[in-house]
A and B are shown apart, each in its own frame.
Chain A
Amino acid sequence: MLPGARAIAGLARLTLLEARRTAVGKSAIAAIGIALCLALFMERIVLTEQARAAVVAYAVIVRLGLVLLIAQAIIANTVRDLNERVVEHFLALPLTRLQYAIGKWLGWAAVAAVSAIAAGLPLLGFVGTSGRLAWTLSFGVEAVVVASLALLLALALGRVVTAMLAFCCLYLFARISYLLLLLGNNMGASEGSAVERFDVFYIQIASYLLPRMDRFAETAWLTGGTIRFGPGLLQGVIYLALLGAVANLELRRKQF
Chain B
Amino acid sequence: MLLCACLAANVLFQRLNAPAWTDVGDLETPPRLELARAASLGEDTFAGYLAVLFLQNFNVSLGRATPVAAMDRSAVIRWLDLSTDLDGDSRYPLLLAARHFAETGTPEQRRCMLDWIYQRFQERPNERWPWLVHAVFAGRHMLHDDALAETYAAALRTRVTDPKAPSWVLQMDLLLRADLGEAEDARTILAGLIDAGQIRSPGELKFLVSRIAAVEAPLPKL
Interfacial residues, chain A to chain B (CB-CB below 8 A): 42, 45-49, 52-53, 56-57, 60, 64, 172, 175-176, 178-180, 183, 214, 219-220, 223-224
Residue contacts A-B, CB under 8 angstroms, 15 given: A46-B92, A47-B56, A47-B95, A47-B96, A48-B91, A48-B92, A56-B45, A60-B43, A64-B41, A175-B41, A176-B38, A178-B42, A219-B45, A219-B46, A223-B45
Residue contact A179 to B37, C-beta cutoff 8 Å: yes
Q: Which residue of B lies closest to A45 (CB)?
A: B53
Query: A53-B49, A60-B46 are known contacts; what are 5 more A-B pairs with Cβ within 8 Å?
Result: A57-B46, A178-B42, A180-B38, A220-B45, A224-B89
Contacts of B92 in A (CB 8 A): 46-49, 53
Given A56-B46, A183-B34, A223-B89, CB of A46 within 8 Å of CB of B41: no
Question: How would you classify the secondary structure of chain A's contact residues: helix, strand, loop or mixed?
Answer: helix
Number of interface residues of B (CB under 8 A): 21
CB distance from B68 to the nearest CB of A (A): 14
Question: How would you classify the secondary structure of chain B's contact residues: helix, strand, loop or mixed?
Answer: helix
Given A219-B43, A224-B89, CB of A46 within 8 Å of CB of B38: no
Say yes or no for B126: interface residue by CB 8 A criterion.
no
Residue contact A46 to B43, C-beta cutoff 8 Å: no
Contacts of B44 in A (CB 8 A): 220
Contacts of A48 in B (CB 8 A): 91-92, 95
Bound CA span A55–B53, Å: 16
Bound CA span A79–B40, Å: 31
Say yes or no for B198: interface residue by CB 8 A criterion.
no
